[in-house]
Structure 1
Amino acid sequence: MNAPADTTPNASSARSLRLAVLLATYMQSANLPLPNAVLRLIQGSLSMTDDQAGWIFTAYLAASAITMPIAQWLAARFGLKRVYQAALAFFVLGLLLATVSSTPLEFIGARIIQGLASGVLAPLSMAIAMETLAPEKRMKFGATWTAIVLMGIVSGPSIGGWIAEHYDWRPIFFVSLPLSTYIFLVVALLLTEKKAAKAPAFDFFGFGTFTLALISLQMLLDRGERMDWFDSPEIWIEALAGGLGLYLFLMHVLTKQAHFLNKSLFRDRNFVLSTIIFFAVGFVLLSTMALTSPMLDEILGYPPDTTGALTIPRGIGLVGAFLLMGRVPERFDRRWFVAAGAGAVIYANWLMLGYSPLMDWSPVAVTGAIQGVGIGMLMPSLTKVAFSTLDPALRPEGTGLFNLSRVYGSTIGVAIVQIFFFNNTQAMHLALGNNVTPYSAAAHFGTASLPLPTLEGLSHLITHQAAFIAVVDQFKILMVAMLVVSPLILFLRKPAAAN
């Protein structure tokens, strides 16, 4: 964009503006997992099925993945201040619609609106903050910004759980309303409007085909189980649309000089391998949260505030390790920290395979903390390795793709674990049910202390056990995902800054 480096009149205004955009960054990241600890209440209130509950997260993530790549172009074309305020207003609209929703589709629609606004707020918040800082301070602030994003992701469920336990699930979205008002007023008063003198170029064809492939794949994964997969014409349409979008995008990339994703990015080995590993990090982090909270809330019967509070150890481990990594001297080879972080994440998921219906809260807290420490080590180290060999001219575009890989990983990860969870629950229910006979039921329950259960009670007990086994099986998928990408660490080059 053609604009002066400093958009604020003085240092005090610059600090106020940075605080406002950091609050916006925290708000949009916290709203992603905010309903995680209260899914049972939302499902009961809106008559939402289990597969629709997964859309609460995937709708938000997929929508933000659509608008994130185009946010900078919108700001350059229509004005940074105008676009940012419009995104804030749109975000508030999504919050209000969520609180008045009476059907699952209305609530998912509200989450889509929140996600679309979030995809604009996140990169533009970073851009506004960077413009208020001297160039030598921007690198350090980038770490602060990432820590705020992570803090929002891991603290959202605890906030939502506490509010829902003492009030209701709908007020969880009201928390963001005063924050949004404050941010809007600060931006209105202190941010100078700016936009490019000339309409910037943007590869709409590449962006459109890439988005078509992404949304079609997401719809296929989200709707496949409900529509009985390829027995449904809808799933065929989504599969064909996704395949067509991917084909057109690849042909566009291979035949055009300038396009949505610069081909030069894919010539840097460290960047490509790190982006793949970062995709797996996103796959594991939010999918683990999407499985753990319902397990505690719906299967083990923990109240929402306790369910939310058990995400805090993961948050402390993640943010603490992330901040400590910023103090590691440059002479240390970051590849070792990438390997250690991946090992900690794999170990944490392996421990999750030992979860039992008879356990208390401590195994969840311990495994969450270990996983948090692993991801907190992995993310900054991987970022350092990814960009250490990349041409500085490619870093802005590389940063966008690198962050998008985490978002895409989270979106696809949540959808996949939901699919396998429902399939495994049905399979385990059938397997357990086949072993129940009137004689075995009488032998186990036909006592004074354990009276013979009703057919409904017995079915509920089997469903409960089948669901728990299915959840544990999904932790195995997440562990395998990290195991699969871990060998890529061996092919990373030593970062130049570590010499």
Structure 2
Amino acid sequence: MNALQIADARSLRFAALLVTYLQSVNLPLPNAALRLIQGSLSMTDDQAGWIFTAYLAASAITMPVAQWLAASFGLKRVYQTALGLFVLGLWLGTQADTPLAFVGARLLQGLASGVLAPLSMAIALDTLPAEKRPAFGPKWTALVLFGIVSGPAIGGWIAEHFDWRPMFYLSLPLIAYVFMVVTLLLVEKKAGQRPSFDFFGFGTFTLGMIGLQMLLDRGERLDWFDTPEIWVEAFASALGLYLFVVHVLTARVHYLSKGLFRDRNFMLSTVMFFALGFVLLSTMALTSPMLDEILGYPPDTTGLLTVPRGIALVGAFVLMGRAPAWIDARVFIAMGIALVAYANGLMLGYSPLMDWVPVTVTGFIQGIGLGILMPALSKVAFSTLDPTLRPEATGLFNLMRVYGSTLGVAVVQTFFFNNTQAMHAALASNLTPYRAALPTSLPALEGLNHLVTHQAAFIAVMGQFKILLVAMLVVSPLVLLLRKPVPAI
């Protein structure tokens, strides 16, 4: 390569890494400003959960087909189209004046993000010499994590000092720069013939997971199985997963190779990676609203309180890359699960009277645990796997983290609203003239109801932290079933 080619490769790699950061940072960007968004759009609490699940579920749909789209229609064309759709989603989000319009914009962002993430990595890898590519994966993952953990702080600061809409404008000039670099420097690549893809397997798996997602998202609002929509979503989920399992067991060639399911380390690690995703974003989806809406912290402070968790997570992840090779990775997995579970246990001691210290400490401990757990699970998962299955396994492994996150957010949001109502009814039932001197004026009664609602919401949040603790404890025995990692052949 001459000097000009090296410069062009670096420019492309920087652009691809910039997109990787932008698509990950936009996922949690509204997290610290939910109160402002809800007030501006008259959005109910259960609808606020769709801000995250729409983005995640949409990206989970398009992520598996990104490589097929690039091979079929051209990498450059597909990448430019995804950038355009991402920008459109950002702009529509700033123009939204109803909850449905805003969630639709987030859905479009997620669809584009699912394509941009794997193709950005492919572009970046293509600009590197072959000998440097194996070491690039952890760096790329660290950048994704940095985007996820820095999003609330950036969004909260912008929302507090300006408004919540400008937080989406921040990405527009950066994506315009990337589009220009890609247009000028990226050489179009397209397969000689359209590659095969198991659309039936992919479609049934997606139907099952999205049906389950909609069931969890809409169930509480529609009184569960008292409405036809929930029955339809439950049937779609059950049918999709049933057809997918039958397809895997009977078809010779399908979306997921049977060899993946025969590797014990890979399957157990994937289950634990799903649980990690369940905790990773669900904690954020609970902590920021707790600080912002229940405890009354301003958006910028709410965002800043997530920074220690992010620093610990990314720092531990990077340091794990320097861990001695002779240490059994299963030890790190056990250590990571123990730290995450311990932090979630500490979260059960939160109080409405606490200051910022408990949130910072527990977040920092959990971040260390997650930062240790992620690379250790990746090492064990692929250590005994057939090398020919690694590309397919990588896609499934990362997809399970995404599905874990989207289902985790849906589950905690569902139980949060249900438990809030139950606790409100339980607390209010004790407010009788025989137990306390109740106020009689309307403003005083409204204030009392507001106090009871806050207490009920806080108790409900503690219940959801317990769910996250249980999720880690349930998968912890799987560590004992893992085989000792061996160097991959």
1:177 counterpart residue number: 172
1:454 counterpart residue number: 444
1:3 counterpart residue number: none
1:476 counterpart residue number: 466
Amino acid at match of 2:254: H
Amino acid at match of 1:435: N
The 10-residue stretch of structure 1 (186-195 or 91-100) with the greater mean CA deviation from structure 2: 186-195
- Kept after mapping to 2: 8 A contact 1:47/1:103: yes
What does residue range 173-322 of structure 1 map to in structure 2 within 5 Å?
173-322=168-317
CA distance in 1, matches of 2:291, 2:248: 45
After TM superposition, the score normalised by the length of structure 1 is: 0.96
1:323 aligns with 2:323: no
CA distance in 2, matches of 1:233, 1:104: 23
CA distance in 2, matches of 1:185, 1:171: 23
Task: Tell me how far 1:208 sits from its aligned partner.
Answer: 1.1
Say which SS state the counterpart of residue 354 (structure 1) adopts: coil
Task: Tell me how far 1:112 sits from its aligned partner.
Answer: 0.4
Say which SS state the counterpart of residue 435 (structure 2) adopts: helix
1:352 counterpart residue number: 347
Task: Tell me how far 1:440 sits from its aligned partner.
Answer: 3.5
- Kept after mapping to 1: 8 A contact 2:278/2:405: yes
CA distance in 1, matches of 2:61, 2:22: 19
1:340 counterpart residue number: 335
CA distance in 2, matches of 1:491, 1:15: 43
The 10-residue stretch of structure 1 (69-78 or 211-220) with the greater mean CA deviation from structure 2: 211-220
1:485 aligns with 2:480: no
Residue among 429, 432, 435 paired with 1:434 = 429
Change (3 A) 1:453 1:92: closer
| Structure 1 residue runs without a partner (length 5+) | 1-5
Task: Tell me how far 1:84 sits from its aligned partner.
Answer: 0.6
Runs of 4+ in structure 1 displaced over 4 angstroms?
A: none
1:88 counterpart residue number: 83
Residue among 158, 171, 178 paired with 2:153 = 158
Say which SS state the counterpart of residue 139 (structure 1) adopts: coil
- Kept after mapping to 1: 8 A contact 2:160/2:298: yes
The 10-residue stretch of structure 1 (32-41 or 130-139) with the greater mean CA deviation from structure 2: 130-139
Deviations along 1:321-351, whole A, 9 cap, x unmatched? 0000001121111110111011000000000
| Structure 2 residue runs without a partner (length 5+) | none
Amino acid at match of 2:221: R
- Kept after mapping to 2: 8 A contact 1:87/1:120: yes
1:494 aligns with 2:489: no
Task: Tell me how far 1:452 sits from its aligned partner.
Answer: 12
Deviations along 1:85-119, whole A, 9 cap, x unmatched? 11000000000000000100000000000000000
- Kept after mapping to 2: 8 A contact 1:284/1:413: yes
CA distance in 2, matches of 1:120, 1:231: 37
Amino acid at match of 1:214: M
Change (3 A) 1:452 1:225: closer
What does residue range 351-390 of structure 1 map to in structure 2 within 5 Å?
351-390=346-385
CA distance in 2, matches of 1:136, 1:484: 40
- Kept after mapping to 1: 8 A contact 2:384/2:487: no
Say which SS state the counterpart of residue 440 (structure 1) adopts: coil
CA distance in 2, matches of 1:288, 1:364: 11
Amino acid at match of 2:116: L
The 10-residue stretch of structure 1 (130-139 or 112-121) with the greater mean CA deviation from structure 2: 130-139
Task: Tell me how far 1:22 sits from its aligned partner.
Answer: 0.7
CA distance in 2, matches of 1:369, 1:303: 21
2:163 counterpart residue number: 168
CA distance in 2, matches of 1:431, 1:391: 56
CA distance in 2, matches of 1:254, 1:172: 47
C-alpha RMSD over aligned residues? 1.6
- Kept after mapping to 2: 8 A contact 1:24/1:125: yes
Task: Tell me how far 1:455 sits from its aligned partner.
Answer: 1.2
Amino acid at match of 1:255: T
